[in-house]
Amino acid sequence: MILLISVHLLAALAAPAMALALGRKVFMALAIVPLATFVWAVLNAPGAAPVTQTVSWIPSLGTDLAFRMGALQWLLTLVVAGVGALVLFYCASYFHDDDRVGSFAATFIAFAGSMLGLVLADDLLMVYVFWEMTTVFSYLLIGYDMTKRSARLAAMQALIVTTFGGLAMLVGMLMLGHLAGTMRISKILADPPAASGLLTAAVMLVLVGALSKSAIVPFHFWLPGAMSAPTPVSAYLHAASMVKAGVYLVALLAPAFAGVPGWRAGILTLGVLTMLVGGWRSLVQCDVKLILAYGTVSQLGFLLVVLSVGTRAAALAGVALLLAHALFKSCLFLVVGIIDHNAGNRDLRTLSGLGRRSPVLFAAAAIAGASMVGFPPLLGFVAKESVLTALVDVTAGGDGTGLGPVAAWTVLVGVVVGSIITTAYTLRFLWGAFADKPGVEATDFKTPSPAFLASPVVLAVLSIGVAFFGGPLTKSLEGYTHQFPPGAHEAKLALWHGLGLPLGLSVLALVSGALMFVARRPIAHAQTKVAQPWSAQRAYLSLMHGVDRLSVEVTGFMQRGSVSAYLAVTLVVLLAFPGVAMLMAWTPDVQVHVWDTPAQAAAGLVVVLAAIMTARARRRLRAALLVGVTGYGCAVLFVLQGAPDLALTQVLVETASVIAFVLVLRRLPTYFTDRPLSAQRYVRALLGLAVGAAVAGIMIVATNARTAQPVSVGFPEASVDFGGGKNIVSVTLVDIRAWDTMGEISVLVAAATGVASLLFIGTRRSTIRRVGDLPQHHAAEPKTGGSWLSGPSTLAPEKRSIIFEVVTRLVFPAMVMVGVYLLFAGHNFTGGGFAGGIVTGLALVVRYLAGGRYELDEAAPIDAGTLLGVGLVIAAGSGLAPLAFGGAVLESYQYDVHLPLLGDHHLVTSLFFDIGVYLVVVGLILDLLRTFGSRIDRQIISEERDNDATNAEVAR
């Protein structure tokens, strides 16, 4: 069975390529697949044991590729495969050769495979899998005419409605599986879970899915819409197969769950209602295809009623009806397809004389129609007789269903009335499609080819033929029907049930229906007069519309697009959850240790004041400097805490940032632009205070809770013994937690490239231009030996300062030396690669400030990116290297080396890592200088030039 389904899906994959070679003949080739399935099913007619196949798929979910073909599945397989093959054969005549044949054929055959899987699956979740696959393929097929808005809407509508049902069903199935402890359908049916509220809910949810798929009120409206699909699709999906899925599911579950409260009441009510509503609506349609569509809705209601009753007779009758319906309804749709194709028209008001033009077509339609109304000796008659017999049995004492006489009679009456309407619309269909209408010009109709006619004719012949095999059919279906207790009479399918109430009702339906057909005009007139008080379609549209509207309202409300709003939400969440939790955790014995030394308070106060003033600052420069103050304040706190390394680094970082700020601020307006309204300012201030208080509270509470010893207690000893360094901070940074540092330097690299990317749009590289590269420079001013720095000569005289140049010349080498010293000293004394890098960087800053951008390039004639890259490669490489020596990543080794002149040294390999850090930091600062300094200089100069040019022009 898995093979058959897979072959369908593989055929779908191959179809587009095949279509390229074969054109529309691809349908013939593809028809072989369902045909083979049909033959397989015939050969595997239900015997003692059902055919099963199971392949484990996802044991964790309890779902397997489990397939099982019992009697019911066998019949449906025959329908799905048989009708599928016929419709595919028909498609070869219906479609023209164009580039969409391939995708259509692929979708169609994939659908057929999914449908096959759906009826054969023996696992609830597998049923759902195939169920939704049919939905999606059906969506694609309905939307085949994709540039038509109506087709797109219909496709969407079908998709949403059936998926809605499908999802409800999924939840129901999961609940059912949970209650039963298995997803295997055969096991659940053999041993259904005990009745409970949960079970009822589960079954009802499953039914929602079944009803929506089978277009039962109130979900019926999607099916007429789905008629936008090409007619072969309607014949197959919307008559023979997919819409039967819901009916099938009900039939499948009825043996175990027909007794669940709400099952009969719900389905019978909705089924009868659907039968009547569908039939009634079909009486006013002018499109012959829509007559059939509403007729299908009606018949699906009918089927559901019969299959949900839950007696053996009804079950047998229902299955027979299902088969009969598949045969006659697909035949009728195929007939409509031929009419549409060859006459280009489906409107019964303008169709005329087709019966005489193609008697074969008419005969096929008439036979199928006769079967639909239940005219002997056709299969439809056999089925309807059995249905009526079964229902009559129910009226007499319930026949084991527990239905009261009122309910049973209501159902019977409903079904008979429905049958009357069925007769009426069937006659109206036949008349509308084929009759000679007085006053209407005979339709121009091309006689269909025999190949085109073949499929509907075969289906019509089957409607007659199968009727004579009631006995064998009854026998074959025993595997299904015998799951129900035997009823009042022996259930059997036969052409002759004897004289009795059922036969009388059949005759009544035929005669009254004929009368109703005669009175079709007044009826249609009356129907159009009566305003529809409520329409499911409109309800659907307004619901979807409501969803759209709600989505816009909600999104408009939430998605403000404003940073401050989002920040406010974030901070409020912080207060509402961790903040409140902190208050609850605050016990009376929480101790607050205010300070170690009052100096800490002083430094803290400076930081706080600077922060507040920053927030109040209107000038950008002021804000930048104040932010710097908070940083220096922190550095003071570090010093007071006894952490000179941190303090040094902090001071250096603050200095570098302030310089960067100042360089950037040259290009920004002096003042901040928008200042919030005062009311809002207070709210913000309050929020800020509250968050600050909450964070302080959290820290106090957390500190008070500590009982365990911190890991850092072990650091000092390990630093010396294992890390080979006396500076714990430095050893921590480059060894114990070197991995963090590795991450952080990559952050620096990213930041540097990012800064460059924002200004040097398009390239990370800055061109290095040294003084010597300037052409006019060579010409105008030959190198003078006495100059302290060469760069400043490129500056305008008023921007130069000789003293600064001299000092720079003297200080620069010293600063670089200090930087390098800090790098090497770090392991044992204050310093480290990071601090060293910043000092070196600051030396470059000084050169830049004194001599401008050419001076910078003189001082560091290297691309910042390269520096960053080399640094990162060294750092990462020093991490990787120990692996080569059998060590762990970042493991460090110690050597005592003797260097000439410098004496004995204790070398720790983590130094290489620190060199990487150093280079990255220097690279970052160089990058910042080039971007915020040189680049902006250049912008300013070129703007000045432009301005001068403009001024000159204006002056002229």
Partner 1 sequence: MNDVVPLPVLLPLFGCGAALMFSRRPRVQRAITVSVLVAVVAIASMLLVAADRHGPQVAWLGSWPRPLGLALVADRVSALMLLVSAIVTLAVLVYSLAQGGASEDDESTPVSIYHPTFMVLVAGVSNAFLAGDLFNLFVSFEMLLFASYVLLTLGGTESRIRAGTIYVVINMVSSALFLIAIAAVYAATGSLNFAQLSERLGDLPDGVALTLQLLLLTVFAIKAAVFPLSFWLPDSYPTAPAPVTAVFAGLLTKVGVYAILRTQTLLFPDSPLSNLLLWTAFATMLVGILGAVAQSDVKRMLSFTLVSHIGYMILGIALGSAEGLAGATLYVVHHITIQTVLFLVVGLIEYRTGTTSLLRLGGLAKTAPFIAILFFIPAMNLAGIPPLSGYLGKIGLLQAAVADGSTTAYVLVGGAVVTSLLTLYAMAKAWALAFWRSEEQAREMSKALNEAAAEHDEPSLRHITKRAVEKNASEADRVMPTDVALAAGATEGDEEVDDLYDKPLHAREGATPRTLMWPTTALVAFSIALTVVAGPLFGLTERASVDMKARTPYVNAVLGDDR
User: DSSP class of residue 579?
Assistant: I
Candidate residues 764, 769, 770, 800; the one interacting with partner 1 per rule CB under 8 A: 764
Least distance to partner 1 from the beta carbon of 721, Å?
A: 9
Q: DSSP string spanning 743-774?
A: HHHHHHHHHHHHHHHHHSTT-S------GGG-
**Of 558 and 949, which has the nearer Cβ to partner 1?**
558
Residue 615 lies near partner 1 (rule: CB under 8 A): no
Residue 907 lies near partner 1 (rule: CB under 8 A): no
Question: CB under 8 A: which stretch of 407-415, 484-492, 753-761, 775-783 binds partner 1?
Answer: 753-761
Q: Which residues pair with 895 in a beta bridge?
A: 907
Residue 78 lies near partner 1 (rule: CB under 8 A): no
Q: Report the alpha-carbon distance of residue 800 to residue 805 in Å, rounded.
A: 8
Structure tokens at 620: 């950008």
**Of 360 and 768, which has the nearer Cβ to partner 1?**
768
Candidate residues 591, 709, 776, 784; the one interacting with partner 1 per rule CB under 8 A: 709
Expressed in angstroms, the distance from the first to the final Cα of the chain is 92
Least distance to partner 1 from the beta carbon of 119, Å?
A: 16
Exposure string for 886-901, b = 16+ CB within 10 A, e = fewer: eeeebbbeeeeeeeee
Structure tokens at 943: 């703007």
Residue 729 lies near partner 1 (rule: CB under 8 A): no
**Of 586 and 788, which has the nearer Cβ to partner 1?**
586
Closest CA to 434 of 288, 283, 286, 228: 288
Window 471-530: residues binding partner 1 (CB under 8 A): none
Q: Report the alpha-carbon distance of residue 727 to residue 826 in Å, rounded.
A: 7
Q: DSSP string spanning 712-746?
A: GGGHHHHIIIII--S-HHHHIIIIITHHHHHHHHH
Window 17-56: residues binding partner 1 (CB under 8 A): 56
Least distance to partner 1 from the beta carbon of 341, Å?
A: 23
Residue 776 lies near partner 1 (rule: CB under 8 A): no
Residue 891 lies near partner 1 (rule: CB under 8 A): yes
Least distance to partner 1 from the beta carbon of 65, Å?
A: 10
Are the C-beta atoms of residues 95 and 30 closer than 8 Å to each other? no
Per DSSP, the three-state class of 377 is coil
Q: Report the alpha-carbon distance of residue 747 to residue 365 in Å, rounded.
A: 77
Candidate residues 29, 159, 245, 624; the one interacting with partner 1 per rule CB under 8 A: 159
Candidate residues 3, 48, 49, 60; the one interacting with partner 1 per rule CB under 8 A: 60
Distances (CA, A) of 261 to 113, 198, 200, 264, 405: 35, 12, 7, 8, 18
Question: CB under 8 A: which stretch of 132-140, 435-443, 593-601, 942-950 binds partner 1?
Answer: 132-140
Residue 761 lies near partner 1 (rule: CB under 8 A): yes
Window 371-430: residues binding partner 1 (CB under 8 A): none
Least distance to partner 1 from the beta carbon of 421, Å?
A: 31
Candidate residues 30, 66, 120, 155; the one interacting with partner 1 per rule CB under 8 A: 155
**Of 560 and 675, which has the nearer Cβ to partner 1?**
560
Least distance to partner 1 from the beta carbon of 376, Å?
A: 44
Candidate residues 13, 17, 21, 544; the one interacting with partner 1 per rule CB under 8 A: 544
Least distance to partner 1 from the beta carbon of 697, Å?
A: 9
Residue 537 lies near partner 1 (rule: CB under 8 A): no
**Of 165 and 513, which has the nearer Cβ to partner 1?**
165
Candidate residues 197, 438, 439, 561; the one interacting with partner 1 per rule CB under 8 A: 561
Candidate residues 625, 744, 768, 807; the one interacting with partner 1 per rule CB under 8 A: 744
Least distance to partner 1 from the beta carbon of 823, Å?
A: 18
Least distance to partner 1 from the beta carbon of 63, Å?
A: 8
Candidate residues 508, 617, 718, 936; the one interacting with partner 1 per rule CB under 8 A: 718
Helix (H) or strand (E) segment spanning residue 28: helix 26-43
Q: Report the alpha-carbon distance of residue 946 to residue 954 in Å, rounded.
A: 12
**CA 921, 927, 929, 933: dihedral to nearest 10 degrees?**
-160
Question: CB under 8 A: which stretch of 609-617, 813-821, 870-878, 948-956 binds partner 1?
Answer: 870-878
Q: Report the alpha-carbon distance of residue 688 to residue 676 in Å, rounded.
A: 15
Residue 344 lies near partner 1 (rule: CB under 8 A): no
Residue 567 lies near partner 1 (rule: CB under 8 A): yes
Least distance to partner 1 from the beta carbon of 761, Å?
A: 5
152, amino acid identity: R
Q: Angle formed by the axes of helices 379-395 and 312-343, to 10°?
A: 140
Window 793-812: residues binding partner 1 (CB under 8 A): none
Residue 573 lies near partner 1 (rule: CB under 8 A): yes
Distances (CA, A) of 434 to 93, 355, 456: 21, 4, 16
Closest CA to 604 of 579, 628, 634, 574: 634
Residue 284 lies near partner 1 (rule: CB under 8 A): no
Residue 890 lies near partner 1 (rule: CB under 8 A): yes
Are the C-beta atoms of residues 401 and 395 closer than 8 Å to each other? no
Per DSSP, the three-state class of 68 is strand
Residue 690 lies near partner 1 (rule: CB under 8 A): no
Candidate residues 49, 194, 530, 563; the one interacting with partner 1 per rule CB under 8 A: 563
Candidate residues 349, 525, 560, 666; the one interacting with partner 1 per rule CB under 8 A: 560
Window 579-598: residues binding partner 1 (CB under 8 A): 581-582, 584-587
Closest CA to 802 of 815, 810, 659, 773: 810
Cβ count near 940 (within 10 Å): 12
Contacts of residues 450-454 at CB distance under 8 Å and 24 or more positions apart, as own/partner, are 451/89, 451/92, 451/93, 452/90, 452/93, 452/94, 452/338, 452/341, 453/338, 453/358, 453/360, 453/361, 453/364, 454/86, 454/89, 454/90
Candidate residues 746, 790, 801, 828; the one interacting with partner 1 per rule CB under 8 A: 746
Candidate residues 549, 681, 783, 945; the one interacting with partner 1 per rule CB under 8 A: 549
